[in-house]
Each structure stands twice: as C-alpha cells, then as structure tokens.
Amino acid sequence: MSHKIGIFGGSFNPIHIGHLVIAEAAWQEFGLEKIIFIPTADTPQKDMHNIDKYLRYEMVRLAIAGNDHFSISPIEIEREGISYTVDTIRELRERCDVNTDFYFIAGTDAVADLPEWKYNKELLHACYFISASRPEKKEKLAKTIAFFGELGKEKILTLKTPELAISSTILRDWLARGVSTRYLMPDSVIQFIKEHHLYRR
C-alpha cells in the first residue's frame, strides 16, 4: 500500500489561520494521511524578528493541538548548518515506508519562486508540490510550471482554497501596535504571545 504524506515547511512567525486552512484543505483534497509541520531553522536570509526557533516551534505545536492528522517535527530546527528542503525530504524518506509519496505544501508565492530554490530539480523529483492560492503571483506560477516542463506539469499541483490575504508580516505589525488578531490565529497562540511578550515594539 502506498502512503501520502504532506510536509508543510515555514517560518511560522507566527502561525496563523492562513497556514491552518491550506494544510487542512490539502489534507482533504489530496487524500493525505497526515501533514507534518516543519518550522524552519533561524536563517540569516530571513529576519526572524528576535523570535527564536523554539518559540516558533511552540506556537505551531499549540496551533495544531487537537487535530489528529496534523503533527510537527523539529527536523530542521535541530539540524546543524544550512538547511535545504531537499535534505529534509531525504531524511524523512529514510524514516518512512518505501512506498511513500511526499507532498510539500506552500503558497503560490513560494512555489512561483521555485526556479530560485537550491536543488529545485532534485526537489521536484523527490516530492510533489501543492501550491495553495494566495492573491499574489499567479501568473508567475504558470511560468514556473512551464520552466520545469513535463516535471513541472506532473509535480506541481494546485489547491483551491478561499484566499486569505493575511501573512505573518501583517500579524506581526498588528501585534506590535496592539491591534486585535483574534480569529486570525488560534486563541492558544494569542495567549502564548501575550504571556511571553512577543512581537512587542
């Protein structure tokens, strides 16, 4: 029997309903067994706004609690040195049944930028990509699929979900200004942010 596992990588700084909605929709539409959320390590390429990887991990853990087909892995935050998605898929493959197909979930913005990712062809050979629509970059996504030719057509799948024009960037700004983020993030995450005085100016 073959297995279908979703991988959802992100900085989740902080996690919000945009992330949770696309993960649930991908699970349902593609008949995935489970989704593994993988918070990224702290990297010099992306400003983490002084929120370290363990805090981001904890917010994801709280956000997915109670959903039996969601889980979390520290695989990237525990890895030494630079972390590439292709290494993560390889490592997960070693731990899973040989008949496992991996589906990497990402927003259109991220998938459209695939030509700029390191080891992108290896990655497309190693897993499917599920591109969750986000208001930006739709035309660029079509170009990206064409860029990879047959591989792109076979491996880049699109997911239709209601588009939620929110991002961690917007929420960080609102949190810093004391604007309510209720209903845009799970209550448990809002509580954690308050208790640890995160995202304050």
The site for ligand ATP (CB under 6 A) is made up of 10-13, 18-19, 22, 106-107, 109-110, 132, 134, 164, 166-169
Say which DSSP state 19 is in. Answer: H
Instruction: Count how many Cα atoms sit within 13 Å of the Cα of residue 133 in the half-sphere of its side chain.
Output: 10
Query: Which CB, 86 or 110, lies closer to ligand ATP?
Result: 110
Task: Name the residue number minimizing CB distance to ligand ATP.
Answer: 107
Q: For residue 50, what are its two tokens?
A: 């002084």
DSSP string for residues in 90-120 = HHHHHHS-TTEEEEEEEEHHHHHTGGGSTTH
Query: Which CB, 1 or 162, lies closer to ligand ATP?
Result: 162
CB of 46 to ligand ATP, least distance (A): 7
Query: Which CB, 40 or 148, lies closer to ligand ATP?
Result: 40
Q: How far apart are the first and last CA of the chain?
A: 52
**Residue whose token pair is 């992100």:** 10
CB of 4 to ligand ATP, least distance (A): 19
CB of 120 to ligand ATP, least distance (A): 15
Query: Which CB, 10 or 152, lies closer to ligand ATP?
Result: 10
Asked if 103 and 7 touch (Cβ cutoff 8 Å), the reply is yes
CB of 188 to ligand ATP, least distance (A): 18
